[in-house]
Structure 1
Amino acid sequence: MRGDTSPADGDKLGREAPIPRQLQQVQDDDLDPDSVKRHEEDDDDDDDADEGRDEEVAGLVPRLSDEEERSARRARNEGGAKLGRATTTYREGDDDYDDEDHLNHVEDGGGSRSPFADRREQRARRRKPAGVLATIWAIAREALPTLAISVLSLVFSGELLIHLARWPVFVKVDKLFILVPILLNLKGNLEGNLSLRMSTSANIGELDIRRTRETLIFGNLALLQVQALIVSLFAGILASVLGVIGGLGGASEGPKTAQRRGFGALLTKRRVIHHHPAPSDPSMRLRNSYFEFVLVIATGMLAASMSSAILGSFMCALVVVTRQLGGNPDNIASPLAGSLGDLLTLTILGLLGSFLVRFEGTILATLILLALAAACACCFFLAYRNAYVRELLSSGWIPLVVAMFISSGAGLVLDAFVQRYEGFALLVPVATGLPGACSAIFVSRISTALHSGKGVSSSLSHSSSSTLISALRDILKLGPTEGWIVPATLFTIGAGIEVLFLVLVWVTGQMSFGWPFAITFVITSGLIVAASLYISHLITLFLWSRDYDPDIYCLPYVTSLIDVIGQILLVVAFATATVLGDQITAAVNDHQKP
């Protein structure tokens, strides 16, 4: 025990033997009875902390429930209760958490304040509050490059999707092409949630302790594998069903598919006239069969697993490195999760599909499916043993399904107007993807502030038992959690990048338009970005007020709503410019014409 250490033991350790904390504090307080009682209660808390550390050594790191955790963090940030660990609200000097002396202090039950925490407090007192320009620069220098990379990833993903549509595997197995939007939507939300959780853990100090950091990272990666394999299985089944229905009805065929069917019908008539037997086509023989069904599911699950392993490891490393370098992961991790995830998943899906389609009709896809099922079970077991992510195995599934159906509305809008307005498909990824990236940054920052006990968290914590109408009324009265500087900066960056992208496509000759469309697009872009930020603010605070963690539930709702709203407003921009007499043409449409 910590209080039984002898002076000789202290000499062996090379430092002075510790004095029992209760006796030392009683002497300092001149034997005040109230102080003695308070210190005895602190010792009881230390005993509970020791038990928690025993579980941590066994690989089961205990985590408080949501309400207790929030209260504890608020108490620490307000200078209240100490939970046997150093205060983690300051960023300077966070590398001290990996110092061996500090780890020994924590493992020895450090009930008193750490000297590293005291040093951070002294630095915080010496720091002057950041001005408006300094705050704007701190956000812009991290968010602007990240959002620019997101736009490039979105553009490359769109170009890659156009090329993948011509690959033989997607021509032969059209259900793989149906799988693409469903899989990207579900996986993008999973990786976005991972970036939110890791950013929040970094900013509240959970990643500053080596043992906790390793437990969190391995647990989240195992959880991500389970979620990716399950959602890809669901996406593969849904794509196969939609493919069969579309093949029977022909209602959901794209231009290429319709063209192929037209040529096929023409050749069939010629064979009937001349009485030539139809040649045997293995691809037609296996269409809608068991082998094609397993091929679609195995390809989707394997692509989802590989991309999740690569991107999940990259996102965790990015958050840790950003934290160690003094940056804010909220401004960097969330926007990159979805955009890079789409590009990586599309690439892996195309390569795997091209390889596995050569073995269609064999048991290779079945063996891969069985191996992935075993891997999912192993990852589930690892995630269940990890107390940090155990509760996440059964939560967060409803937002994914709801978001998928909401995004289907965006798909209907795209299908209805992509042929009517030239250049619509070229602007949609940026017009909806960039506001989604801005909202991801805003949601991540709000969630971090709420988990840290800042802003409006104390006023919202008591509204979980109130009615839905009263909770919404209270939220509508609240301003931004971190003030108006953050949303104003994100709005300026997001709207500015969209305007620059429009200028770029005009200069390069990808689109040709006049001033009416330019003005309507600028206004529409501003409205989309503003709507995305306001929706993020409302949904995040509402979920927090109803005792739901925004890191798990918020992002799927926000991104799916932005997809629908963004495409509707973009249609309004095209329609308004057309009514005003503007002629909008796109080079990509000219290339597609026969």
Structure 2
Amino acid sequence: MPHESDPLLSDELLNVSRFSRSMRAKDAQVSSGPTESVCSMVLQILVPFVLAGLGTVSAGMLLDVVQSWDVFQEISEILILVPAILGMKGNLEMTMASRLSTAVNARKTDSTKERWMLIGGNLALKQLQATVLGLLASLMVTLLGWMADGQMPFSHIVLLCSTSVSTTFLASLLQGIVVVGVIFGSKRMGINPDNVATPIAASFGDLITLSLLACFSQWFYSFMEFYPYVLYLVDLLYLCLIPVWMVISSKHPASHILLRSGWEPIITAMVISRYSSLHLHLYCLVHRLLFVFFPPSINGVGGNLVSVQASRISTHLHLNYSPGELPVGSRSCFNPFQTFFGSGAHHRSAQVLLLLVLPGQLIFVHIIHVIKGGLTLPSLLFTVLFLSASLTQVFLLLIVADCLVHCLWRRGKDPDSYSIPYLTALGDLLGTALLSLAFLLLWCIGNS
């Protein structure tokens, strides 16, 4: 007798077959979707990358000038506040840029109402984070100053708080508006926002933030002796605005979630960056000019490049996979071959980003030399060591970014909000360690 099949089993096999065909079709769609040419990718990344590097170098030059001002000489903790504020601001801007880039590429802003709710919620959330983190940064610097000197005048504490919060608040507002304009403008021009938004967010961010910090600190210093109540009113004003930002940001579902869960990465990144700058300071006191210019260059370049890669991978996952679902071949971590020689769009972008390191750093080293009139020209050995350190830093960061973004996605966390702060903080730590090693090698062979 012919074998009579079970209808339930047949239906189950049919469903499995349909599921398999749908998955193969999905994989084919992902792999054969619209891609960017290498030339287009390089051009889109190169311009904001160079602008970001110029902004970082300009910030180093500005710091070299303003550190002789009265307030920097009288209150040395202002200098300790600088790297904490700069690192924190970069994280906030680039994280928001990555979120908005994903939303634009996923066509979640086609509706005018949804677009303005998304912009308003993200800007309000960023103002809230900037205010709170500015206050935390000033308190952390106060603690470090008290541990170093054994005392800390209350007037100095108030000035640090007023300067930190005022700087982060106004810089966050200005840079947030610029980032929103760049993202929607680039999309309208047919440019991938993932390639340009995060570097543009950091391009003149350091310069704007440092300029505001120097001006606010000097201005508040002039009020400190005769009109101290002005500083109290400034702090009170920003604290009163916190509930306003909470209400506005809670109007949008995505920013409402980040009100509770978005603090861990940026606070952790701020602490790591603070430790990195203190660690580097111990190695670089005898290399004053190198300390001012080269650490921001290596850390800024590394952070800018890896943020582009993280933003691109995150957008790719948002567009093609559900949270917790990973593409085939992305389950293993720390595989250089998989990161740089795979078969996806972000593998090609990793190669492009790594190739930009050497010419970019050579340009920035030459600019530093020209602007300083030849006084900061490093030796050939230091140039080789500096370029090797920068290349190694970006190589490791791109591998970690590939792993971290996919791990966050597998755990159901949005990489746009979590990955960039961790990656930029790790970039500061790696850049600091590698540059310190370069200084140590130069000192050991007497070629400083």
Distance 1:144 1:227, change over 3 A: same
Distance 1:359 1:474, change over 3 A: closer
Residue aligning to 1:573: 438
Residue aligning to 1:208: 110
SS of the counterpart of 2:254? Answer: coil
Residues 1:432 and 2:296 are matched in the alignment: no
Residue aligning to 2:10: none
Where in structure 1 are there 5+ consecutive unaligned residues?
A: 1-73, 80-88, 91-124, 250-286, 464-470, 585-594
SS of the counterpart of 1:385? Answer: coil
Give deviations 1:524-545, integer Å, cap 9, x for gaps. 3321221221121121111111
Residue aligning to 1:497: 360
Match of 1:228 among 96, 119, 130: 130
Alpha-carbon distance in 2 for matches of 1:315, 1:384:
21
Q: Which amino acid aligns with 2:236?
A: L
Q: Which amino acid aligns with 2:110?
A: D
Q: Which amino acid aligns with 2:161?
A: I
Q: Which amino acid aligns with 1:293?
A: I
* 1:329-408 mapped onto 2 (5 Å cutoff): 329-360=193-224, 362-408=228-274
Alpha-carbon distance in 1 for matches of 2:283, 2:186:
41
Greater CA drift, 312-321 or 371-380: 371-380
Give deviations 1:477-525, integer Å, cap 9, x for gaps. 9546525321111111122211333345556524345543343333333
Greater CA drift, 439-448 or 172-181: 172-181
CA contact (8 A) 1:300 1:349 kept: yes
Residue aligning to 2:399: 534
SS of the counterpart of 2:253? Answer: coil
From the CA coordinates, give the structure whose radius of gyration is larger.
1
CA contact (8 A) 2:57 2:364 kept: no
Match of 2:311 among 420, 440, 444: 444
Q: Which amino acid aligns with 2:243?
A: A
Q: Which amino acid aligns with 1:526?
A: L
**Which structure has the highest helix share of the two?**
2
Give how far 1:551 is off: 0.9
Higher relative contact order (CA 8 A, sep 6+): 2
Give how far 1:327 is off: 0.6
SS of the counterpart of 1:141? Answer: helix
Give deviations 1:336-387, integer Å, cap 9, x for gaps. 2234222111111221222222222532111222211121111111112332
Q: Which amino acid aligns with 1:402?
A: T
SS of the counterpart of 2:356? Answer: helix
Give how far 1:392 is off: 0.8
Distance 1:583 1:178, change over 3 A: closer
Residue aligning to 2:420: 555
Alpha-carbon distance in 1 for matches of 2:288, 2:215:
31
Alpha-carbon distance in 1 for matches of 2:318, 2:351:
22
Distance 1:299 1:483, change over 3 A: closer
Where in structure 2 are there 5+ consecutive unaligned residues?
A: 1-21
Give how far 1:320 is off: 0.7
Residue aligning to 1:31: none
Residues 1:159 and 2:25 are matched in the alignment: no
CA contact (8 A) 2:55 2:205 kept: no
Alpha-carbon distance in 1 for matches of 2:378, 2:62:
26
CA contact (8 A) 1:154 1:433 kept: yes
Give TM-score, length-normalised by structure 2: 0.84
* 1:265-276 mapped onto 2 (5 Å cutoff): none
Distance 1:177 1:495, change over 3 A: same
Residues 1:414 and 2:277 are matched in the alignment: no
Distance 1:365 1:528, change over 3 A: same
Distance 1:532 1:390, change over 3 A: same
Alpha-carbon distance in 2 for matches of 1:504, 1:582:
26
Residue aligning to 1:187: 89
Alpha-carbon distance in 1 for matches of 2:123, 2:170:
12
Distance 1:246 1:520, change over 3 A: closer
Distance 1:209 1:495, change over 3 A: farther
Distance 1:574 1:296, change over 3 A: closer
Give how far 1:322 is off: 0.7
- Tell me how large the CA RMSD over aligned residues is: 3.1
